[in-house]
């Protein structure tokens, strides 16, 4: 009788024990090694970090100035296109819109360039003051 008891499959506890699948252990091969690439930090030194910040601030400044000039040019062009009576005003036989777009934009471009140059110099001076410390 003891042989018969040993031959019976082992019963799992619980009411759904007969429906449970058999567990299988999955393992990696013994010679497999775990090669985890070392994550390189974005900035190795503080100096590299500040150089990247300087580059980003100069890029933001350049994009802002370019977008401002483009918006101003598009705005003036749209205003002149939507205001047809502007073509009636002439100076030396040249219509007013030509004067505005041909000559009036240059002082605005020069002013934007001067302001950009000052802001870029200020960014670089901030970087130099930090890098000296």
Reply yes or no on whether the pLDDT at 118 is more than 90.
Answer: yes
User: What's the whole-number average pLDDT of the chain?
Assistant: 78
Cα–Cα dist 51/98, whole Å: 44
Which residue in 98, 103, 108, 116 sits closest to 69, CA to CA? 108
Band the pLDDT of 68: cuts 50, 70, 90. Answer: very high
Residues 6+ apart with CB under 8 A from 118: none
At 32, the pLDDT band (50, 70, 90 cuts) reads low
Interaxial angle between packed helices 105-132 and 46-82, expressed in degrees from 0 to 180 and rounded to the nearest 10: 170
């Amino acid at each position: 009788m003891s042989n018969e008891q040993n031959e019976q499959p082992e019963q799992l506890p619980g009411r759904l024990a007969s429906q449970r699948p058999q567990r299988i252990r999955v393992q990696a091969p013994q010679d497999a090694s775990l090669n985890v690439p070392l994550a390189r930090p974005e900035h190795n030194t503080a100096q590299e970090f500040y150089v990247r910040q300087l580059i980003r601030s100069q890029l933001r400044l350049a994009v802002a100035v370019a977008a401002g000039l483009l918006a101003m040019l598009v705005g003036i062009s749209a205003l002149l296109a939507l205001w047809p009576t502007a073509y009636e005003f002439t100076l030396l036989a040249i219509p007013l819109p030509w004067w505005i777009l041909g000559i009036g934009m240059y002082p605005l471009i020069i002013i934007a360039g001067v302001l950009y140059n000052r802001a870029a110099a200020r960014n670089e001076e901030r970087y130099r003051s930090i890098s000296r410390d």
